[in-house]
Every structure is written in C-alpha cells, then in structure tokens.
A and B are shown apart, each in its own frame.
Chain A
C-alpha cells in the first residue's frame, strides 16, 4: 500500500524568505509524486510533478520540489515566499507498481501562512 506523510500541519514564514513544505512517501514500486495547492473555497490546483529524470522539478508560481529517493522525500520549496502563497498544500503519490490503480494517495495537507 502507498502512503504520504506531511509532518507539519502548518508552516509560517515571512514574506521574502525561503519556504519548505515537507513530504515523505512510502510505495512498494516506483513513485510518481505530485504537489497541489488549495485556496479557500477552490478546488485543487496542480503545481508540479516528479515522474523520472532530474531530481529537481520546477513548477508553477516559482515553486520547485526535490525528489530524494534514499530519504523517500519530495519537499516543496520556493526561494522567496509571497503573501499570496498562503494556502493549503497537498503532496500526493501514485505507485506505478500497483497494477490498475491510477488514483492518487494524498497527504494530510500543510497550511502555509506567509506573513507580510
């Protein structure tokens, strides 16, 4: 079975400072990894994904994430946070070793609060 852990319920950062939102995963095969963001009263918006290749993945709105296979992590990062980045962030995994299953398993979510 696959699982995702987001150890921090909330991350607080000052505007202009770098931010990191942590994610670790567990799969039996090879993972496809995703980050989504949810703004209040909105659906989930796709930020970025890791499939294969370069461990550093760049996505929307200046976000990037680093895949670390040895640590089974996929932390989301941004060099300089904006107040508008304040939202709920979800990490998700799909185990391509799991035959026939295309659905995503989500972490519990991390609320990012960027203070002006």
Chain B
C-alpha cells in the first residue's frame, strides 16, 4: 500500500479565488487520480495525472478550471480556479502502484481528502 497525504485538509475560500491542493505519496507511483465528492454524493473522477504527460480530464471537467501538475512520481497538485459555491466538495487524490497495463490488478489507495467550502 501507500501512505498519501493531502494539504490542506480543509479550507474555506471566497468566491472567485483559487486553491491549490497538494498530494504527496511516500513512494513512487505510476498513476495518480483526482476525484471530487460533492456533499452527500459519490466520488466522481476529475482527471488522471501521469508523470511526464498531460493530465487526462473526464467529461465535464476542463483544464482551465482544474489545472493539474505532476512534476514527479511522488507528488501532484490540483488547482480549483475561480471558485464558486458549487465547487464546495471533498477533493481526493488516489494512486496506483502498478504499471500502465490495463490488466494491472493493483488497488487504488486514497488520500484523506481536502474539504473545500466556498462562500
């Protein structure tokens, strides 16, 4: 497994501002993911972030709103830009330790999440 930390753990932000969330892993990982969990909802994938390539965004999420960096194999950031109250959610990063094969049987492990409230 992997130990994953996220900063900040929670924040309250004003409308129109931006927040960058950091995800740090204690070992080198191939694949990292960013999910959003809106209040009382399930998890929705925002994007997949692989080191050395551009993040791949899911339908409904765009790079201008959620820019992602993946500078190395242990770290990633997600920025929530020009925030509105609808962005109030828990943002979670997750990792897989295995390779890129679609047949990889690896488990996805999640960080503790960042609880964002936008006023």
Question: Interface on A for B, CB 8 Å cutoff?
Answer: 32, 34, 36, 41-46, 49, 51, 90, 96, 98-109
**In the bound complex, how far is the Cα of B43 from the Cα of A101, in angstroms?**
16
User: Would you call B110 and A102 a contact (CB within 8 A)?
Assistant: no
Minimum C-beta distance from A113 to chain B (A): 16
What total of A-B pairs shows CB separation below 8 Å? 55
- Chain B: how many interface residues by the 8 Å CB criterion? 26
The closest CB in chain A to the CB of B107 belongs to A46
Q: A42-B112, A90-B43, A104-B45 are in contact. List 15 more A-B contacts (CB 8 A).
A: A32-B105, A36-B110, A41-B115, A42-B113, A43-B113, A44-B92, A45-B110, A46-B107, A90-B42, A99-B102, A102-B33, A102-B96, A103-B45, A103-B48, A108-B41
Known: A42-B112, A43-B110. A109 touches B42 (CB 8 A): yes
Q: Mark B1-38, 1 if CB is under 8 A from A, else 0.
A: 10010000000000000000000000000010100000
Q: Which residues of B contact A51 (CB under 8 A)?
A: 105
Selected contact of B92 from candidates A43, A49, A101, CB within 8 Å: A43
Residues in A whose Cβ lies below 8 Å from that of B107: 34, 46, 49
Cα-based distance from A45 to B110 in the complex (angstroms): 7
Contacts of B67 in A (CB 8 A): none
> A106–B43 contact, CB under 8 A?
yes
Contacts of A43 in B (CB 8 A): 4, 92, 110-113
**CA–CA, A96 to B107, complex, Å?**
13
